Amino acid sequence: MGEERLQKYIARCGITSRRKAEELILKGNVKVNGKVVRELGSKIDPDKDIVYVNGKRIYEKDKNIYIKLYKPEGYVTTVKDQFNRKTVIDLINIKERIYPVGRLDYNTSGLLLLTNDGDLANKLMHPKYKIYKTYEADVKGYISKSALVRLEKGIIIDNFKTAPAKVRLLKSGSVSTVEISIYEGKNRQVRKMFEAVGHKVIKLKRTAFGSINLQGLKEGQWEYLTKDEIKFLKG
């Protein structure tokens, strides 16, 4: 990208206006590679230099990060937790600030996406885009064909009818395993759907978000999305 003026870079990162950035530089509130810079004509290389404003590292707005995580049970899907429980952010050792796309319950494991791209995160959480999230649910008891059909067609929970789902029976027994794909994301929706047809969910795992899956990841592991996966999300 080449060099650019420090105040322009600060503005481009969305921290403040260029004029205000100049004031911050003059006040000594800006560091480049750990050293205070007060000269307005100073130039930096955005690809190499690290800039801090008011003690916090700043990043270019277009430097978006996209990560997939295999969330274990026992982690909350927030950046910070008021009860000091472990959060999904504790599992990801990067300096950039990211946040989860949607939620997975404390007792639910599986695929979680995290990003610093707020526009895309909002789009992915909106049901109108019909991005299916696939779950594997272990439920109590033998589950009937009629119960599976009810889940497929949509069922009343919390005074609203769920959208049609894709449902597949993977294992039948005293504990049955069902694969279910939904594009809505209401609070505890999958668990409530199964309860509505008389089956308590014992274990729940999200296995896919659209065409993105857990392949290659073990519980607690994460990796950056590939170009193809990002392309799918941006659709």
**Strands 108-115, 201-209: parallel, antiparallel or unpaired by DSSP?**
parallel
47 noted as active-site residue = no
**Rg, C-alpha atoms of the chain:** 23
Cα(110)–Cα(205) distance, rounded to whole angstroms?
A: 5
DSSP code string of 14-67: TSS-HHHHHHHHHTT-EEETTEE---TT-EE-TTT--EEETTEE---TT---EE
The pair phi, psi for residue 218, each rounded to 5°, is -105, 165
Distance in Å from the first CA to the final CA of the chain = 27
Q: Angle at the Cα of 87 (from 86 to 91), degrees rounded to 5? A: 95
Catalytic residue among 49, 81, 105, 138: 105
Distance between CA atoms of residues 224 and 222, nearest Å: 7
Largest pairwise CA distance in the chain = 73
Give, as one character, the DSSP assignment of residue 165.
Answer: -
List active site positions.
Answer: 105
